[in-house]
Amino acid sequence: MSAKTLYDKIWDAHLVHEADDGTSLLYIDRHLVHEVTSPQAFEGLRMAGRKVRKPENTIAVPDHNVPTTPDRVQGIKNAESRIQVEALDKNAKDFGIHYYPVNDVRQGIVHIVGPEQGWTLPGMTVVCGDSHTATHGAFGALAHGIGTSEVEHVLATQTLIQTKSKNMKVEITGQLRPGVTAKDITLSVIGKTGTAGGTGYVIEYCGEAIRSLSMEGRMTVCNMAIEGGARAGLIAPDETTFEYIKGRPHAPKGAQWEAALTWWKTLYSDDDAHWDKVITIKGEEIAPVVTWGTSPEDVLPITATVPSPSDFEGGKVGAAERALEYMGLKPGQNLSDIEIDTVFIGSCTNGRIEDLRAAAAILKGKKIKDGLRAMIVPGSGLVRAQAEEEGLADIFKEAGFEWRLAGCSMCLAMNPDQLSPGERCAATSNRNFEGRQGRGGRTHLMSPQMAAAAAVTGKLTDVREMM
């Protein structure tokens, strides 16, 4: 038998049918659903008189639209948002799928809830009508975002029509330096490969620096595989993975745990497997980074200066001109001189307990800069509860942060958490697109530590100076 990558192995284990032209039918183990990309799919099922084929493997939670202020227990004020969430309530009930409603303590961002509840397991295929489904790849699961038509297809058939991607290896050697995090890894990779560098590929992240990451860190890395253009990001499961999963509500138990473990331990890329593309980055060379522009590939170390359009070639020249204009920045300006007025810590990229601990470590005993708006939005109700138990919430509140309920919040600003035109935000989320956090809003992506440091000084800051 020829050598295989981890992606090859998971693909082969889920292949239902392959046509002569390579068009394949792939079996889907877990289908995660949220309120924004699913109503039309459920409506499609109703109109065709179809059922959900595997309701027991379909998990829904509202996250994109939900307010994160305490008054949400009294209901969602925005009528359109409320209708979407109510539609999910009804669809979950009518079709008999697992559901974590808005006021359930387990509610949160779908990509945080799935792993937290033990739904995401190594070797699985996981899909969701959301591009950041790539997050689940941290478990060695083949996980990617799909459109609403595909959501309907998976609901009806538990399969997806796919063509196989190519294999790309991203190796991060050695160890990270102090102040450098999983977020800096994933942003640095995109900075190197570009937002289309991964198009047509599934990425496997490997190397000592990746192995040393916690599951939270690995999820941060895989989360942004999509920002690099890849269909999915993967990390082979190991003891760190198994330790995280064991005992979670939907993880296998007893004899099934042992059987699962035996299979999970075969889930790695063979030494002589074929890679279509290989990128290697030295962990020691990664610095704390921020984005300066309007594409996640616009990444630079915090110690750098704003680039000039003339530093680029081709279509990127015009893109840089447009980005600088939009961001209100001048070439040559120190990144660490850029003043901000908002800080957002949260999202499926950095809304887990470890992210909150990292931010709290910087904020302990400090205050945010006067006049700044700063919010922490935990990724789930359980993350929030744990942070309260650990005393992190008190640190945030004493520093001047708003301590919110769980949801996607200002990552995509579908709920009331938005930037106003011209406002500039230090954000731990994943996209700095024009208008992403609100029309005319300006986003700088960074790690939770860096965002916390920016909250204290009121400008983009090298966190290493505060450690």
Partner 1 sequence: MEKFEKLTGIAAPLPLINVDTDMIIPKQFLKTIKRSGLGVNLFDEMRYDDDGKEIPDFVLNKPQYRETEILVAGDNFGCGSSREHAPWAIKDFGIRCVIAPSFADIFFNNCFKNGILPIALPQDQIDVLMKDAEKGSNARMTVDLENQTVTTSDGEVFSFEVEQFKKHCLLEGLDDIGLTMEKAAAIDTFEAQAVSARPWV
Which 29-48 positions form the footprint of partner 1 (CB under 8 A)?
Answer: 29, 36-37, 39-40, 43, 48
126 or 356, CB closer to partner 1?
A: 126
Q: Does 6 bind partner 1 (CB under 8 A)?
A: no
Q: How many residues bind partner 1 (CB under 8 A)?
A: 79
E strand segments, 303-410:
342-345, 373-376, 402-403
d(CA 375, CA 386): 17
Q: Which of 98, 106, 131, 366 binds partner 1 (CB under 8 A)?
A: 131
Q: What angle do CA 444, 448, 454 make, to 5 degrees?
A: 60
Cα pseudo-dihedral 338, 459, 372, 82, rounded to 10: 70
Instruction: Tell me how far the alpha carbon of residue 319 is from its chain's centroid.
Output: 25
Q: Does 63 bind partner 1 (CB under 8 A)?
A: no
Does residue number 21 form part of the binding site for partner 1 (CB under 8 A)?
A: yes
What would the two tokens of residue 328 be? 């209100």
- Per-residue interface string for the shown chain with partner 1, residues 184-213, x marking contact by CB under 8 A: -----------xx--xx-------------
Is 295 a binder of partner 1 (CB under 8 A)? yes
145 binds partner 1 (CB under 8 A): yes
150 binds partner 1 (CB under 8 A): yes
Helix (H, G, I), strand (E, B) or coil at 444: strand
Closest CB to partner 1 among residues 57, 68: 57
Residue holding tokens 């959501």? 151
Q: Which two tokens stand for residue 289?
A: 């980074």
Residue 162 or residue 457: which is nearer to partner 1 going by CB? 162
- Residue with Cβ nearer partner 1 (154 or 235): 154
The answer to whether 315 contacts partner 1 (rule: CB under 8 A) is yes
CB of 88 to partner 1, least distance (A): 10
CA distances from 196 to 183, 192, 224, 295, 349 (A): 19, 11, 12, 11, 19
CB of 396 to partner 1, least distance (A): 26
Among 51, 71, 96, 163, binds partner 1 (CB under 8 A): 163
User: One symbol per residue from 402 to 431: x for binding partner 1 (CB under 8 A), - otherwise; what is it?
Assistant: ----------xxx------x---------x
Look at the block and give the residue holding tokens 């697109």. Answer: 433
Interhelix angle 353-363/448-457, nearest 10 degrees: 30
Torsion of CA 189, 192, 194, 200, to 10 degrees: -60
Residue 237 in tokens: 């499961």
Radius of gyration of the chain (CA): 21
By CB under 8 A, name the one of 75, 96, 318, 422 that touches partner 1.
318
Q: Does 130 bind partner 1 (CB under 8 A)?
A: yes
Nearer to partner 1, 25 or 287 (CB): 25
Task: Verify binding: residue 129, partner 1, rule CB under 8 A.
Answer: yes
